[in-house]
Amino acid sequence: MTDELARRIAALMPRARADLAELVAIPSVADPRQYPPEKCRQAAEWVAAAFADAGLRDVHLEETPDGSHAVVGHRPPPPGAPTVLLYAHYDVQPPLDDTAWTSPPFELTERAGRWYGRGAADCKGNIVMHLTALRALGDELPVGLKLVVEGSEEQGTGGLEAYVPPHAGELHADALLICDTGNAAIGLPTATTSLRGVTTVVVTVSALAGDMHSGMFGGPAPDALAALIRVLDSLRDPDGGTRIEGLDNDGTWSGVGYDEQQFRADAGVLDGVRLTGSGTVADRLWARPAVTVLGIDCPPVVGSAAAVPATARARISLRVPPGTDARAAQAALTAHLEAAAPWGVHIAVTPESVGSPFRAATGGPAYAALDKAVQEVYGRPLSFLGQGGSIPLCTVFATTFPAAEIILMGVEEPRCLIHAPNESVDPGEIEHMAHVEALFLRHYADSRRP
């Protein structure tokens, strides 16, 4: 039966590629300042039609409190069978610098056996994985299904997080497949059991009423950009590790580690450049806070004037590990920034999103069924890893459905370069993880039978 399922999935891979090409071609960036909102609507309607065609019922769009649209649907369980919720998101990160892409970001392009395009892995590849698994099972689906495909995950505006609690009855399931992560490496089946939370703020430094001629006023006139640089530098130790007053930066990771040389290769660290911080790579990635300056508003080099900048601002991300309250972390970051302002410059910190960290419980029948499925497909047991990224929705699901098992899995692996130029996916991971998902649904149904 497994061999027959594998053959069905292999035969579906041309359709999977065609589906992914159509989805990647839709620039569904959920930020109206960058892309037309109708593109997200187009992607949502594509997803709804595809899952309806794959056998789900009443698949439709629901507007969430942030204005984005989630795709929801269901399929009733056979008598006595459990229900599984399938999650992914159709919105994508902006392509950033188009010139850094080897091929157009919104055109699925094959090179050296990988499929390139924005969202090819994160998270449209996971949507295609779901569709391929469901098509392979067809009418043999052994469980009930709930579907929710999010439309603003990358923006962190919390639309689906706010939508879930008042719609708990419609979304309730025994196990949740949160498919927005992936394997530790190609061929190494992995469930993510730990996620960092995240908070973002914008810090604005003001020093002068307006930009002033650097020849006439430079020296005693305080430079807002220089002040901002000092503020940002205060967030790190001399070795580059994050150091924010009030936050523990000495946590350790007790699970499977992350080889330093492998990390350097995965992250594309240049020769001679040292990693920042101390402790193991896993400690720094999964057990400690990590600050990143996401962007700075200041005069660009080309077109800059001989003037002392009056204002400058930066957007800052702070990832926080399980055990740290994300709102408390945001408050600590804000207080640290305000205290670090030099020369009496004015500083304003504007909070943006807050997402809580997550840790999964792995001892239930869903994890046992997943382990059995990955051993049949990959020939090795399931591995457990942490992840430095954030999926705040997981905490909302855990709070709303405390008895449900939550599994984070998917087609993303380090070579995918999610959020970066030249994002890609290995089609073999789509094929194998679709096979894993289909087998999981069978094994999980068997495990819940009296």
List the structure tokens of 373.
């499925």
The yes-or-no verdict on residue 353 having pLDDT over 90 is no
- Spatial distance between the Cα atoms of 355 and 439, rounded to a whole number of angstroms: 32
Q: Which of 19, 91, 150, 223 is catalytic?
A: 91
Q: Is the pLDDT of residue 1 over 60?
A: no
CB 159 within 8 A of CB 98: no
Residues 6 or more apart whose Cβ sits within 8 Å of residue 397 = 164, 176, 178, 404, 406
The whole-number average pLDDT for the span 276-301 is 94
What pLDDT score was predicted for residue 393? 87
Average pLDDT along the chain: 95
Task: List the beta bridge partners of residue 406.
Answer: 176
What proportion of the chain, given as a percentage, has pLDDT over 90? 86
Statement: residue 144 has pLDDT above 70: yes
* Chain centroid to CA 320: 14
Question: What is the model's pLDDT at position 450?
Answer: 65
- Cα of first residue to Cα of last residue in the chain, in angstroms, is 23
DSSP 358-399: EE----SHHHHHHHHHHHHHHSSPPEEEEESS--THHHHHHH
Q: What is the pTM of this model?
A: 0.80
- Residue 110 CB: number of other CB atoms within 10 A? 14
> Predicted confidence band at 38 (pLDDT cuts at 50, 70, 90)?
very high
- Residue 153 annotated in active site: yes
Residue 248 structure tokens:
């523990």
Min mean pLDDT across 161-165, 282-286, 352-356 is at: 352-356
**For the chain, percent of residues with pLDDT exceeding 70:** 99
Distance between CA 180 and CA 165 in Å, rounded? 20
φ and ψ at 378, to 5 degrees? -100, -15
How much is the pLDDT for 385? 85
Given 153, 283, 423, 426, the catalytic residue: 153
Closest CA to 333 of 389, 383, 290: 290
Task: Give the residue-averaged pLDDT of 445-449.
Answer: 87
Which of 97, 204, 79 has its CA nearest to residue 142?
79
d(CA 209, CA 228): 16
Q: What is the pLDDT of residue 184?
A: 87
- The whole-number pLDDT of residue 73 equals 98
How many other C-beta atoms lie within 10 A of the C-beta of residue 211? 17
What is the reported pLDDT for 25? 98
The pLDDT score that the predictor gives to residue 388 is: 76
Residue 98 pLDDT: 85
State CA 393 to chain mean position distance: 11
pLDDT exceeds 90 at position 266: no
> Mean pLDDT throughout 357-386?
94
| Predicted local distance difference test score (pLDDT) of residue 60 | 98
Write out pLDDT tens, residues 99-134. Answer: 999 999 999 999 999 999 999 999 999 999 999 999
325 is catalytic: no
pLDDT for 97 equals 85
Q: Report DSSP state, residue 12.
A: H
Spell out where 49-182 has E strands: 57-63, 69-75, 83-89, 109-111, 114-116, 144-150, 175-178
What letter would DSSP give residue 412? Answer: -
User: pLDDT category, 448, cuts 50, 70, 90?
Assistant: confident
How confident is residue 254, by pLDDT bands cut at 50, 70 and 90?
A: confident
